[in-house]
């Protein structure tokens, strides 16, 4: 191939070749097996983004064909001359030289990530890369990404035809469009209508605005989206404009879970059923609530259990459904972690190669490159093996709509939200459950009919029964900013006391030696870890959203570090004595809330005691051993609320912009192109054979495979 010509020119004949497969003779033959061409090949290079004002460059793509009245595609399509990114089904990237394969792979991953993470209708995507004449097929999903063994498309014509017939004639569902999400034009803005099957009936919910979308650029993972939505009559014609139930707004959540895992509704139903049993247990034995303050908390919890009003402290789920699952990893696929690591160093300098200075520079660059490659390889080699579990699409409807705690508008509502969350966590304790992901995004502020804000605990995907007698460590789960220190560090704080041996022998042992303990060195998630997460949430809100100075900013920068292990300052804080912590918080929080420091110090102190006290640690599986912790934590929160309600602390208005986790919504525009309101996680990759193509493809002949090529999973 001519090295001087750009990639798009060198591969321009591909367009004519591929589109020949959609000519009438081929279409007629495939129509006999109920296959219709749904895609066409194009190489315009730049597509209009789904988000306002964004564009994406790609070498070529397969895009949705213009449809007629008989088409299954009833989604809204933009009629502008630009190709809409929402219609790009398969992305392609080209390079003239095989040595540029890693860069080509990165370009494909970048473009595909943009499409998958901005278009909520996508369940998975396909793509292909070409370096010179070597072609590879890619499958991207929320569980893993798989890459075929490369083949020479100029020689292996059967494989080439197999690939493009499979893609061009795939159904929309096979190519990765979710048939239960529909793109509609509503008030000159792109919205989506989601289907949810509830008790055998299909219900339709049109999105209004984005409440939350995970900002990760990764493809794999949960990819959680939460929408403000309203129930409508349908999605076709004008049905999406006809609201039901008087336009009652709900929250719609869409995400991907590990196949076979318990859903959020499963866990919440389990919690509510357990609380119903607690109600009966309290009737038989009132000692269950002996830890609670008789004049305050005890009366509250007795009333909540007696009336069933404990439901009001959790985001109630109206209905939910499970949907498509990703393809499983093929047995023939093998993980190749260095798939995106360059095999050779790119040229970084030019000039007289014979000069001494240039030779020295080249030598230093070569050494730096080798060290960097060695470091990357060592990191990849030492990482734990990935399981690549199949992911299942999951959707639910919350009965109420609110705003996350990070979007609280004032101090009063945030303190109320924190206080209500403590009650919710105490109810979980009574039910025998741990939440395992308490964060500013999982505490929802809901405005009640009386105008007051109440806090509700949400997101129970990771919740589980705290099993008595089960002494096994838990994986690192949660939001790093708010994880309990033991879980975040992967190591317990407790250290058993040493043993003194007065009959020691210099040759056989030591006078003082550590005990041999059967207790875990890696932590088991327990009730106090949820309470500690709530403490980190409270400190974050108080430091971030009140007027800041240099000390509060330093506190945030040093404590809330996005890392796999807790920061040094967080370690210091959790180990401080109560007086030291009180003085530290008084000097780092806003002066008007310095009076909260004494209560926060007591809160931290009782948590640390539970982590380091021998009796508490040895009885960590004893449900009753946590009573004192809950008693002190409730007293601490009561002190904060009493101080605030006294009027000594002003009700600060928060001026933040709804938090970094929430997307701003574009305003309506007079532009011809309608805009979308609102809008994965470790990338995994695997070269395998053409088995990754859509099911039911018209051609099933396997491509020839070079025995020296390997299948690859990229993690």
Domain membership of residue 208 as a residue range: 181-265+318-325
Q: For the residues of 573-589, what is the DSSP string, one character each?
A: HHHS-HHHHHHHHHHHS
In a domain, 188, yes or no: yes
449 and 534 inside one domain:
yes
Domain count of the fold of the chain: 3
How far is residue 211 CA from its own chain's centroid?
15
Sole residue written with tokens 């038989």: 284
481 and 496, same structural domain? yes
The model's pTM is 0.81
Encoded tokens for 680 = 């994965």
* Residue 663 covered by a domain: no
Q: Which two tokens mark 98?
A: 């095989």
Q: 1, 125, 123: which is closest to 58 by C-alpha? A: 125
Residues 572, 447 share a domain: yes
Residue 652 is assigned to a structural domain of this protein: no
Do residues 310 and 336 both lie within one domain? no
Burial of 480 (0-12, 13-18, 19+ CB in 10 A): middle
Backbone angles phi, psi at 551, to 5 degrees: -70, -40
| DSSP 8-class letter at 462 | T
Which pLDDT belongs to residue 50?
Answer: 53
How confident is the chain (715 residues) per 10-residue block, as mean pLDDT? Answer: 59 85 81 83 71 72 68 59 83 92 92 92 96 95 93 94 94 94 93 95 96 84 94 93 91 95 96 96 85 81 94 97 91 78 53 56 60 59 70 96 94 97 97 95 92 94 81 73 93 70 56 50 87 98 92 94 92 95 96 96 95 81 84 95 94 67 35 43 40 42 34 47
Distance CA 267, CA 467 (A): 15
- Give the Cα separation of 152 and 135 in Å (integer): 6
Residue 291 covered by a domain: yes
Could you tell me if 153 and 210 lie in one domain?
Answer: no
Q: Could you say which of 611, 645, 679 is where a domain stops?
A: 645
Sign (positive or negative) of CA dihedral 215, 218, 224, 226 = positive
Would you say how long the chain is, in residues? 715
Going by C-alpha positions, the residue among 466, 465, 473 that lies closest to residue 490 is: 473
Count of CB atoms within 10 A of residue 542's CB?
A: 25
Main-chain dihedrals φ then ψ at residue 79, nearest 5 degrees: -95, 5
Q: Using CB atoms within 10 Å of the CB of residue 197, give its burial: 0 to 12 exposed, 13 to 18 middle, 19+ buried.
A: middle
Name the 3-class secondary structure at 283.
Answer: helix
Q: What is the pLDDT of residue 131?
A: 94
| Tokens matching residue 695 | 């099911």
How many CB atoms neighbour CB 172 within 10 A?
18
Instruction: Quote the pLDDT of residue 348.
Output: 44
CB atoms within 10 A of CB 671: 11
Virtual CA dihedral for 321, 448, 403, 272, nearest 10 degrees?
Answer: -40
Q: Which pLDDT does position 340 carry in this prediction?
A: 76
Q: Is residue 625 helix, strand or coil?
A: helix
Taking the C-alpha atoms of residue 345 and residue 331, their distance in angstroms, rounded to an integer, is 33
Q: Are residues 271 and 261 in the same domain?
A: no
Q: Token pair of 613, please?
A: 């006290």
* Angle between the N-to-C axes of helices 550-559 and 527-544, in degrees from 0 to 180, rounded to the nearest 10: 150
91 & 124 share domain:
yes
Look up residue 621 and give its two tokens.
């599986």
- 192, 303: one domain: no
Distance CA 293, CA 120 (A): 48
Is residue 299 assigned to a domain?
A: yes
Q: Kindly state whether residues 588 and 696 are assigned to the same domain.
A: no
Is the Cβ–Cβ distance between 241 and 223 less than 8 Å?
no
Q: Which residues pair with 151 in a beta bridge?
A: 135
Kindly state whether residues 79 and 217 are assigned to the same domain: no
Q: How far apart are CA 597 and CA 543, in angstroms?
A: 12
What span, in angstroms and rounded, lies between the C-alpha atoms of 298 and 503? 53
For 44, counting Cβ atoms within 10 Å of its Cβ (0-12 exposed, 13-18 middle, 19+ buried), the class is middle
Region for residue 401 given its phi and psi (left: phi exceeds 0; alpha: psi -120 to 50; beta: otherwise) = beta
Q: Are residue 61 and residue 124 in the same domain, yes or no?
A: yes
Note whether 459 and 551 are same-domain residues: yes
What is each CA distance from 669 to 188, 192, 275, 663, in whole angstroms? Answer: 8, 18, 50, 18
537's tokens: 């949430």
Cα gap 674→676, rounded to integer Å: 7
**Burial, 491: exposed, middle or buried (Cβ in 10 Å; 0-12, 13-18, 19+)?**
middle
Query: Does residue 373 fall inside a structural domain?
Result: no
Closest CA to 489 of 580, 568, 550, 387: 568
In a domain, 167, yes or no: yes
Collapsing DSSP states into helix, strand and coil, what is residue 706? coil
Pairing of strands 189-198, 675-676: parallel
Question: What string of DSSP letters covers 327-339?
Answer: PPPPTT--B-GGG
pLDDT at 374: 63
How far apart CA 446 and CA 405 sit, in angstroms, is 10
Q: How far apart are the first and last CA of the chain?
A: 33
For residue 89, being part of any structural domain is answered with: yes
Which residues are CB-contacts of 101 (< 8 A; sequence separation ≥ 6)? 95, 129, 131, 134
């Amino acid at each position: 191939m001519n090295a001087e010509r750009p990639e798009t020119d060198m591969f321009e004949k591909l367009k004519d070749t591929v589109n020949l497969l959609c000519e009438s003779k081929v279409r007629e033959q495939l129509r006999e097996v109920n296959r219709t061409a749904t895609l066409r090949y194009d190489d315009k290079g730049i597509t209009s983004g789904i988000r306002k004002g964004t564009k994406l460059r790609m070498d070529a793509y397969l895009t949705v064909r213009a449809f007629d009245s008989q088409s299954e595609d009833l989604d809204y399509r933009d009629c502008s001359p630009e190709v809409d990114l929402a219609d790009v089904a398969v992305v392609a990237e080209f390079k003239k030289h095989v040595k540029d394969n890693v860069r080509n792979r990165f370009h494909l991953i970048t473009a595909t990530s943009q499409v998958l993470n901005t278009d909520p209708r996508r369940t998975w995507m396909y793509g292909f890369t070409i370096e010179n004449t070597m072609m590879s097929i890619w499958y991207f999903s929320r569980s893993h990404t798989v890459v075929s063994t490369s083949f020479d498309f100029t020689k292996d014509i059967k494989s080439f035809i197999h690939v493009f017939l499979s893609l061009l004639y795939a159904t929309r569902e096979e190519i990765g469009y979710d048939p239960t999400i529909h793109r509609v034009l509503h008030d000159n803005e792109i919205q989506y209508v989601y289907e949810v099957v509830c008790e055998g009936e299909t219900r339709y919910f049109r999105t209004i605005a984005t409440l939350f979308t995970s900002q990760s650029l990764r493809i794999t993972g949960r990819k959680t989206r939460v929408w403000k939505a309203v129930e409508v009559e349908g999605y076709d014609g004008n049905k999406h404009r006809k609201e039901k139930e008087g336009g009652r707004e709900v929250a719609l959540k869409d995400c991907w879970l590990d196949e076979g895992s318990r859903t959020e509704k499963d866990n919440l139903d389990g919690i509510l059923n357990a609380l119903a049993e607690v109600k009966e247990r309290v009737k038989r034995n009132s000692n269950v609530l002996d830890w609670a303050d008789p004049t305050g908390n005890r009366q509250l919890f007795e009333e909540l259990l007696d009336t069933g009003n404990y439901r009001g402290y959790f985001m109630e789920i109206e209905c939910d459904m499970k949907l498509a699952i990703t393809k499983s990893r093929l047995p023939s696929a093998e993980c190749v972690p260095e798939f995106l690591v360059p095999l050779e160093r790119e040229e970084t300098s030019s000039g007289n190669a014979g000069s001494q200075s240039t030779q020295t520079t080249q030598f230093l660059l070569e050494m730096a490159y080798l060290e960097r490659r060695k470091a990357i390889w060592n990191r990849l080699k030492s990482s734990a093996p990935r399981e690549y579990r199949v992911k299942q699409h999951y959707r639910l409807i919350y009965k109420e709509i609110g705003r996350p705690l990070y979007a609280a508008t004032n101090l009063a509502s945030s303190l109320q939200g924190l206080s209500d969350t403590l009650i919710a966590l105490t109810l979980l304790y009574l039910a025998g459950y741990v939440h395992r992901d308490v964060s500013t995004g999982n505490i929802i502020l809901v405005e009640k009919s009386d105008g007051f804000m109440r806090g509700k605990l949400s997101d129970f995907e990771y919740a589980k029964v705290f099993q008595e007698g089960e002494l096994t460590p838990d994986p690192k789960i949660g939001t790093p900013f708010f994880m309990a220190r033991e879980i975040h560090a992967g190591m317990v704080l407790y250290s058993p006391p040493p043993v003194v041996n007065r009959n020691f022998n210099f040759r056989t042992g030591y006078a003082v030696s550590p005990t041999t303990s059967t207790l875990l060195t890696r932590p088991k998630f327990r009730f106090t870890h949820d309470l500690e997460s709530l403490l980190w949430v409270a400190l974050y809100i108080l430091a971030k959203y009140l007027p800041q100075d240099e000390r509060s900013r330093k506190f945030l920068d040093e404590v809330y570090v996005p890392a796999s292990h807790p920061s040094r300052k967080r370690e210091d804080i959790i180990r401080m004595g109560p007086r030291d912590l009180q003085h530290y918080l008084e000097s780092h929080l806003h002066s008007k809330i310095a009076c909260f420091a004494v209560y926060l110090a007591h809160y931290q102190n009782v948590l640390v005691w539970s982590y380091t006290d021998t009796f508490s640690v040895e009885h960590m599986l004893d449900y009753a051993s946590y009573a004192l912790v809950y008693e002190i934590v409730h007293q601490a929160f009561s002190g904060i609320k009493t101080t605030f309600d006294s009027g000594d602390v002003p009700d600060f208005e928060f001026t933040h912009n709804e938090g970094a986790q929430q997307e701003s919504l574009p305003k309506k525009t007079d532009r011809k192109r309608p805009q979308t309101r609102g809008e994965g996680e470790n990338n995994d990759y695997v070269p395998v054979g053409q088995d990754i193509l859509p099911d039911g493809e018209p051609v099933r002949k396997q491509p020839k495979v070079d025995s020296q090529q390997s299948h690859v999973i990229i993690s």
